Amino acid sequence: MRFRIDGTEYDGASPLDIVEAMRREAARGGRACPTPREFLRRAHAELRERVPARELDVSDRLSDDTLALNYLCLCDEYGVGELFDAPRGAPCR
């Protein structure tokens, strides 16, 4: 999979791999998040002005990988980023 946001491209075998790469880069920029889930919570929150609230579920019942895919798909759908080579059956393709 590949994902592009803000001019930066990320590659990974899974959505969570991509989110982990984004989390590491954010930490280098001084925006540390202790866990992928916390990063996803903050990332979803940053979409609030562009994405309907009903789309921003970060329920503890969802796996980190599901949340990661949801985030990447939302970014793609609402023009915040671009997702390439999404897994077959992914809700965004």
pLDDT tens profile 28-86: 878 777 888 888 888 888 888 888 877 777 777 888 888 899 889 889 999 999 998 87
Report if pTM > 0.85. no
Read off the amino acid at residue 53. Answer: A
pLDDT band at 11 (very low <50, low <70, confident <90, very high): very high
Sign of CA dihedral 80, 86, 67, 16: negative
Q: Nearest Cα to 82, choosing from 24, 18, 17?
A: 18
* pLDDT value, residue 87: 66
Which tokens in the block code for residue 67?
A: 């949340």
Cβ atoms 36, 23 nearer than 8 A: yes
